[in-house]
C-alpha cells in the first residue's frame, strides 16, 4: 500500500513562528493518496488545510515529518502539478485563453500543441465563446473556471484545489463542482481538494479526510462509496448518511453546535 | 450633461470675476478682468509661446530624467532589503529638503542655463515616481507568487510576467502626480535665475506691474500642466487598458 501511494505524508507538522509567538497549524498528519484518487480535506477554518496543501506543493516548508510526491521528497516548489486557489488570481492584462496559456508560456511549452487543449478545457467548463474576453468582463464563477483550466492545461499528474468555491454563491458552487467532476472523470488526475463544505467533499471525493480544529489533526478518513457521475439532486440515501456522519464528527469535536 | 458641468462651472466663475472687477472698480494692475487677460493672451501669444516652449523643454527633460532614474531605483529597492535600507533614508532626506532652497545652489553650480531648471524639475517629480513604483512592485499577492512558483517561473519571469505588469497602475498614478509637479519645478528653477521661460516672464511682468500678462502667463502654465497630465493619462489608457477600462466601467455604472 505505502509503496504505491502517489502522495505520502508521514507524521507531518507545521509550526508557524510569528512575532506574537508560535502557532501550531497542524500536526501528526499521516495520509497516503493513491494515483488517480480524489481526496477531499474538510475542517473548520484555521485548522491548517491551506498549510497542508502548501506543504504538499512545496510552497511552505514543513516543521517535521516527511512528504513525498511521486516517490520524491518535497523540498522545493513542485512544478509537476496544477493549483487552484480560493481566488482565481487571473492576470488582468491577459485574455481568458491567454490566462490559461500562461501555464504553457511560463513553462516554455509549445503553444501550438497546447492551445487546442486550452480551448477544449474552456469548452468543457462552459467558457466557449469567452476565449478573448478579459478577466474583468467575467463573473466570479467564470473567473474560477478559467483558473481551473489553467491548472489543467499542461496535463499535470496532480491537481491541488484550496477552497476553490470559497468566494462563490451557492448555485455557482454547484455548477463548478459538476465541472470539476466532469473534468476529473475525463482526466483521472490525482486530486487534493480542500473545502469547508461537507456536501461538496462527499460529492466529489473518493475519500474524505475530516480534521479537528487548530492545531489540526486528522480525526477520521471516510471512504465514499457512491457511483459516479454523482449529482446533487439525485443522490442515494447513502449520500446523506456520509454527510451526517461527518457532521456528527464535527459536533463531537465542538466545531458544530449540537442541535 | 455631466461632461458639460465643469465647463459651466468655469464660465460662471469667470462671469463673476468679470462682473466683480467692474462693479467694485478694481484697478487693472491689481486684478484685470478675464476678457483683458484673454485679449493679452492673444496679443502676446508669440511671446508666451517662446517662453512656454523653454519651460516645457526644461520640464520634460527633468521629468524624463526622473522616470529613467526612479523606476530602476524602485526595482532595486523592492528586490533587495539591503539596498532598501541603504537608499530609502537618503531618498527621504532629499525629499524633505525644500527644493526651493536647493535651487539657488544649483544656480551657483551650473549657472543660469537650462541645467538648474531641469534639475529642480527632476527633483520635484522624482519622489512620487519612486514611491508609487515601489508600492506597485510590492503589490503582487503572495498567492500570485505561489502560482508563479508552481509553474516553475524563473526570477526574471516572475518579474517581467507578473510583478512588473501588476505594478503599472500604481506606477502611473505616480507618473501623473509627477507630471503635475514638474511644471512647478521648472518655474521654481527659473525664479532663481533665468533670462527666458514662463517663470522668468512672471518675474518680469510682476516687477513691471503688467498684471494682465502675468495672468496670461499663469494661464499658459496651467495649460502646459494640464496638457502634460492628459498626455500621461492617455499613455496610461494605451499601455494598461485593462486597468483604465475597469475604472471607467466601475465609475459609469452602466454594468
Ligand atoms: N504565514 C503564516 N504565518 C503565521 N501563521 C500562519 C501563516 N499561515 C497560516 N497561519 C496560521 O496557521 C493556522 C492555519 O492556517 P491555514 O492553513 O490557512 O488554515 P485553513 O486553511 O484551514 O483555514 C491559522 O491559525 C493561521 O493563522
Ligand atoms: Mg485556507
Domain ranges of chain A: 33-61+75-81+158-259, 87-155
Instruction: Name the residue of chain B whose CA is nearest to A50's CA.
Output: B143
pLDDT tops 80 at residue A129: yes
- Residue B255 confidence (pLDDT): 35
For residue A54 and ligand 1, the question of a CB distance below 6 A is answered with no
**Cα within 13 Å of Cα(A65), Cβ side:** 22
Q: How many C-beta neighbours within 10 Å does residue B198 have?
A: 27
For residue A20 and ligand 1, the question of a CB distance below 6 A is answered with no
Can you tell me whether residue A111 is helix, strand or coil?
Answer: helix
pLDDT tops 70 at residue B57: yes
- Residue A173 confidence (pLDDT): 86
Topology of domain B38-252 in CATH is MetI-like fold (1.10.3720)
Beta-strand runs (E) in chain A: 5-18, 21-34, 38-42, 64-69, 72-73, 82-84, 158-162, 190-195, 207-211, 218-223
pLDDT digits (tens, 9 = 90+) for A188-198: 899 999 998 89
B64, B121 Cβ separation under 8 angstroms? no
B3 — pLDDT class (breaks 50, 70, 90): low
pLDDT digits (tens, 9 = 90+) for A7-50: 999 999 999 998 888 999 998 999 999 999 999 999 999 999 99
Which of B143, B246, B249 lies nearest to residue A87, judging by beta carbons? B143
pLDDT tops 80 at residue A259: no
B121, B62 Cβ separation under 8 angstroms? yes
Mean pLDDT of A99-123: 95
pLDDT tops 50 at residue B211: yes
- Residue B250 confidence (pLDDT): 52
Strand partners, A9: A31, A67
Nearest CA among A107, A143, A104, A146 for reference residue A124: A146
Q: Which residue has the higher pLDDT, B177 or B112?
A: B177
Contact call for B161 and A89, based on CB within 8 A: no
pLDDT tops 60 at residue B249: no
- Residue A254 confidence (pLDDT): 78
Work out the mean pLDDT of chain A and round it to a whole number: 91
Mean pLDDT of A55-62: 96
pLDDT digits (tens, 9 = 90+) for A212-255: 998 899 999 999 999 888 887 777 888 999 999 999 999 888 77
B129 — pLDDT class (breaks 50, 70, 90): very high
- Residue A179 confidence (pLDDT): 85
Instruction: Name the residue of chain A whose CA is nearest to B159's CA.
Output: A106
Mean pLDDT of A113-137: 93
Which stretches of chain B sit within 8 Å of chain A by CB? 141, 143-144, 146-153, 157, 161-162, 165, 240, 242-243, 245-246, 249
Mean pLDDT of B28-34: 88
pTM for the whole structure? 0.85
- Residue A53 confidence (pLDDT): 96
Ligand having the closest approach to the CA of A48: 1
* Torsion, Cα of A142, A145, A150, A151 (10° steps): 150
Q: What is the C-alpha to C-alpha distance for residues A112 and A117, in angstroms, rounded to an integer?
A: 10
For residue A49 and ligand 1, the question of a CB distance below 6 A is answered with yes
pLDDT digits (tens, 9 = 90+) for B142-179: 999 999 999 999 999 999 999 999 999 999 999 999 99
Please report the ipTM that was assigned to this predicted complex.
0.91
Q: Which residue has the higher pLDDT, A102 or B93?
A: A102
Strand partners, A210: A42, A220
Mean pLDDT of B74-90: 92
- Cell numbers at B111, concatenated: 549657472
CA of A46 from ligand 1 middle (Å) equals 6
- Residue B247 confidence (pLDDT): 56
Q: What class has domain A33-61+75-81+158-259? A: alpha beta
Contact call for A79 and B243, based on CB within 8 A: no
CB pairs under 8 A between A and B: 55
Of all residues in chain A, the percent with pLDDT exceeding 90 is 71
pLDDT digits (tens, 9 = 90+) for A159-183: 999 999 877 888 888 888 888 898 8
Amino acid at each position: 500500500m505505502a509503496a504505491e501511494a502517489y502522495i505520502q505524508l508521514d507524521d507531518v507538522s507545521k509550526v508557524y513562528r510569528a512575532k506574537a509567538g508560535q502557532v501550531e497549524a497542524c500536526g501528526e498528519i499521516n495520509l497516503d493518496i493513491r494515483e488517480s484518487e480524489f481526496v477531499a480535506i474538510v475542517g473548520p477554518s484555521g485548522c491548517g488545510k491551506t498549510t497542508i496543501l502548501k506543504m504538499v506543493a512545496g510552497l511552505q516548508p514543513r516543521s517535521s515529518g516527511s512528504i513525498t510526491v511521486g516517490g520524491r521528497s518535497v523540498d522545493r516548489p513542485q512544478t509537476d502539478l496544477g493549483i487552484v486557489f480560493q481566488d482565481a488570481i487571473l492576470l488582468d492584462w491577459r485574455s481568458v485563453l491567454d490566462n490559461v496559456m500562461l501555464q504553457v508560456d511560463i513553462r516554455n511549452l509549445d503553444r501550438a500543441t497546447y492551445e487546442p487543449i486550452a480551448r477544449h478545457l474552456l469548452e468543457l467548463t462552459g467558457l466557449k465563446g469567452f476565449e478573448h474576453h478579459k478577466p474583468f468582463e467575467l463573473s466570479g464563477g467564470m473567473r474560477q473556471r478559467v483558473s481551473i483550466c489553467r491548472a489543467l492545461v499542461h496535463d499535470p499528474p496532480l491537481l491541488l484545489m484550496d477552497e476553490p468555491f470559497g468566494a462563490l454563491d451557492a448555485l455557482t458552487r454547484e455548477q463548478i463542482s459538476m465541472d470539476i467532476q466532469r473534468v476529473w472523470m475525463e482526466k483521472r488526475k490525482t486530486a487534493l481538494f480542500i473545502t469547508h463544505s461537507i456536501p461538496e467533499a462527499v460529492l466529489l471525493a473518493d475519500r474524505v479526510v475530516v480534521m479537528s480544529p487548530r492545531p489540526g489533526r486528522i480525526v477520521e478518513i471516510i471512504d465514499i462509496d457512491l457511483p459516479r457521475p454523482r449529482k446533487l439532486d439525485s443522490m442515494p440515501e447513502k449520500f446523506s448518511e456520509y454527510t451526517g456522519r461527518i457532521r456528527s464528527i464535527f459536533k463531537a469535536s465542538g466545531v458544530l453546535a449540537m442541535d | 450633461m455631466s461632461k458639460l458641468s465643469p465647463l459651466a462651472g468655469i464660465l460662471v466663475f469667470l462671469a463673476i470675476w468679470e462682473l466683480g472687477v467692474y462693479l467694485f472698480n478694481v484697478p487693472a494692475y491689481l486684478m484685470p478682468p478675464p476678457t483683458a487677460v484673454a485679449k493679452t493672451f492673444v496679443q502676446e501669444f508669440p511671446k508666451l509661446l517662446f517662453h512656454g516652449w523653454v519651460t516645457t523643454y526644461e520640464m520634460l527633460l527633468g521629468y524624463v530624467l526622473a522616470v529613467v532614474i526612479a523606476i530602476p531605483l524602485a526595482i532595486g529597492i523592492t528586490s533587495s532589503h539591503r539596498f532598501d535600507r541603504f537608499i530609502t533614508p537618503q531618498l527621504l532626506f532629499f525629499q524633505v529638503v525644500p527644493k526651493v532652497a536647493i535651487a539657488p545652489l544649483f544656480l551657483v553650480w551650473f549657472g543660469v542655463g537650462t541645467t538648474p531648471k531641469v534639475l529642480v524639475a527632476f527633483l520635484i517629480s522624482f519622489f512620487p515616481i519612486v514611491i508609487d513604483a515601489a508600492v506597485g512592485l510590492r503589490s503582487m499577492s503572495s498567492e500570485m507568487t505561489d502560482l508563479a512558483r508552481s509553474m516553475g517561473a524563473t526570477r526574471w519571469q516572475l518579474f517581467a510576467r507578473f510583478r512588473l505588469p501588476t505594478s503599472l497602475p500604481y506606477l502611473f498614478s505616480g507618473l501623473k502626480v509627477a507630471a503635475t509637479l514638474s511644471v512647478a519645478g521648472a518655474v521654481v528653477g527659473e525664479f532663481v535665475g533665468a533670462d527666458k521661460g514662463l517663470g522668468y516672464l512672471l518675474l518680469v511682468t510682476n516687477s513691471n506691474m503688467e498684471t494682465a500678462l502675468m495672468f496670461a502667463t499663469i494661464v499658459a502654465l496651467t495649460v502646459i500642466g494640464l496638457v502634460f497630465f492628459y498626455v500621461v493619462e492617455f499613455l496610461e489608457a494605451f499601455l494598461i487598458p485593462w486597468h483604465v477600462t475597469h475604472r471607467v466601467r466601475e465609475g459609469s455604472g452602466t454594468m
